[in-house]
Amino acid sequence: MWLELKILFFLLAVNFAPPLLSHFLEDRWNAPLDGGRNFLDGRPLFGPHKTLRGTAGAVVLGTALGPLLGFTLWIGFSAAVLSMAGDLLSSFIKRRLGRPSGTTVAGLDQVFEGLFPFFIFSAQYPIGYFGVAVLVAAFSVTAWAGSFLFKHILLSKPHEAYPRRVRSRVRLRELRACQIRSNPWHRLINFEDAILYHFALKSALQLVGAYERGKRNARDVRLRRLIFHFPDLPGEFDGYTLLFLSDLHLDGLEGLTERLADIVSANPTDLCLLGGDYRMENVGPFNVALDQMARLIPRIAARDGILSVLGNHDCTEILDPLEKQGVRFLINDAHAVERSGAKLWIAGVDDPHYFQCDDLELATSLVPPGEFMILLAHTPEIYKKAARRGCRLYLCGHTHAGQIQLPKIGPLFTHSRAPRFTSEGVWYHGGMVGFTTAGAGVSGTPVRFRTFGEVVHITLRRRNA
């Protein structure tokens, strides 16, 4: 029985190598094994899903795994090669049957891949026909279940018009964090936030009597006015105003929506930009945050509308309800505002931090060369690429300016991979002006110390070169 279990484990490991490499390497080194060639019938030989990377990776893993399981190096190599040969035969047959590359055919996908290695195993070990049949059946069922999980869950679209690229890494993160309806397991798999913010930090602040003061600080949201000068700003947009809000987390602090509504209604603007993060938590339902947004959005007076990007707390399920309220999302997209024939471009990218679905090249490629472009991103983490792509103003949030700062040290945490000089306020890089807002709301523990929430009013001015 021990021998049979080792063989089954070996076969499953070799079978799992290609999708595992696909998960971690994504598009790197994924050249098709057949080089894109067709067979005599005009159909692909194997199809693009059978890659040099996957086949070679499976053989290398099998060769290395063989001795670890008590097989010889030669047996491990030979069994892995035979398994991949069976896998390629299955793909070859499916192409002849007219099935597109990447489709699943239960049984056909597994039987040859599981059977062929026994040409070497049966020659070396007393397994018998019945034992081979049982092992191939066990492999087929287990491998099919794994394939179903990968293709129909990790690579499936959660809903129609899904705007993100469906990658297994993205889907794992969305399964962890995204569902409108609360999932009790989310609390378990996001235990670090619960321990750090909702227990440790909150308890420490309550112990020293600072928790309620921190909440009062968090409610003290202020209007911040900024003026940015650019020599290449089209003259038609001299004096153009932007209202910039990010990290609203409207369901995390009582009274926050009312405070923000008072500020935005008293400050009409040309265009409103939202930097993402509407929900307080990383997991759980959105309904409270969406209800609060429904109260805030009508109070925003922006004659050219409201543009937004997604943050690391946001899931694509919120797009439809917020777009129905008049918010246009820029998910690796760009939008132009016109004045007398001149254009001001706003490019927006998907979250660069947690989901890492940003595609700056796609968003900026929609902007004609030489046009004035503002980038709206949730975090400052792609600032170098933005400067190289010709962005003139980079607007972002996410850091909350640390939310809690220490004297002479600054932000306790920035939760950003970018350098600390980009973590708050105005900064510069390569001729590009950047601004990272402290955010309107709070995340984690709903407190602020030595920072303030803010709504930012920006005026663009043309300065003669």
Taking only the tens place, the pLDDT of each residue in 255-266 is 999 999 999 999
Question: pLDDT digits over 340-351, tens only?
Answer: 999 999 999 999
User: How far is Cα of residue 216 from the mean position of the Cα atoms in its chain?
Assistant: 33
> For position 190, what pLDDT does the model report?
43
> For position 193, what pLDDT does the model report?
53
% of the chain exceeding 70 in pLDDT: 94
Minimum mean pLDDT among 10-19, 79-88, 103-112, 272-281: which range?
A: 103-112
Question: Are the CB atoms for 116 and 83 separated by under 8 Å?
Answer: yes
State which of 199-203, 311-315, 376-380 shows the largest mean pLDDT: 376-380
> For position 242, what pLDDT does the model report?
98
Question: pLDDT digits over 158-213, tens only?
Answer: 666 678 877 777 877 887 777 654 445 444 444 445 555 556 777 788 788 888 99
Smallest CA-to-CA distance from 416 within 437, 400, 399 is with 399
In angstroms, rounded to a whole number, what is the distance separating the alpha carbons of residues 292 and 274?
15
Q: Is the pLDDT of residue 403 over 80?
A: yes
Which residues, listed in sequence order, are joined to residue 223 by a DSSP beta bridge? 455
Mean pLDDT across the stretch 256-284? 94
Residue 235 identity (one-letter amino acid) = G
Please give the residue that has the higher pLDDT: either 109 or 163: 109
Mean pLDDT across the stretch 22-36? 84
> For position 182, what pLDDT does the model report?
47
Q: Which two tokens stand for residue 174?
A: 């969305």
Q: Is the pLDDT of residue 297 over 90?
A: yes
CA angle at residue 55 from 133 to 13, to 5 degrees?
50
> Where exactly does CATH 3.60.21.10 map onto the chain?
213-462
- Please give the C-alpha separations between residue 64 and each of 87, 99, 113, 357, in angstroms, as whole numbers: 20, 33, 19, 34
- Strands 372-376 and 342-348, by their bridges, are parallel
Question: Are the CB atoms for 286 and 406 separated by under 8 Å?
Answer: no
> For position 188, what pLDDT does the model report?
43
In angstroms, rounded to a whole number, what is the distance separating the alpha carbons of residues 331 and 310?
7
Question: pLDDT digits over 408-463, tens only?
Answer: 888 988 889 999 999 999 999 999 999 999 999 998 889 999 999 999 999 999 98
Torsions phi, psi for 167 (to 5 deg)? -120, 150
Q: Is the pLDDT of residue 116 over 50?
A: yes
Q: Is the pLDDT of residue 112 over 80?
A: yes
> For position 445, what pLDDT does the model report?
87
Minimum mean pLDDT among 166-175, 224-233, 370-379, 389-398: which range?
A: 166-175
Give me the helix-helix angle, 52-68 and 2-25, nearest 10°: 140
Q: Is the pLDDT of residue 329 over 60?
A: yes
Mean pLDDT across the stretch 229-241? 97
Q: Is the pLDDT of residue 368 over 90?
A: yes
Q: Is the pLDDT of residue 218 over 70?
A: yes
Pick the CATH number of 213-462 from 1.10.3720.10, 3.30.450.40, 3.90.1640.10, 3.60.21.10: 3.60.21.10
Q: Is the pLDDT of residue 220 over 50?
A: yes
Mean pLDDT across the stretch 40-60? 92
Residue 209 identity (one-letter amino acid) = G
> For position 185, what pLDDT does the model report?
46
Q: Map residue 85 onto helix, strand or coil.
A: helix
User: How far is Cα of residue 214 from the mean position of the Cα atoms in its chain?
Assistant: 31
Question: Are the CB atoms for 331 and 350 separated by under 8 Å?
Answer: yes
Mean pLDDT across the stretch 220-245? 97
- Please give the C-alpha separations between residue 232 and each of 344, 345, 391, 429, in angstroms, as whole numbers: 11, 13, 12, 17
> For position 465, what pLDDT does the model report?
52
Q: What is the CA radius of gyration of the chain?
A: 27
% of the chain exceeding 90 in pLDDT: 69
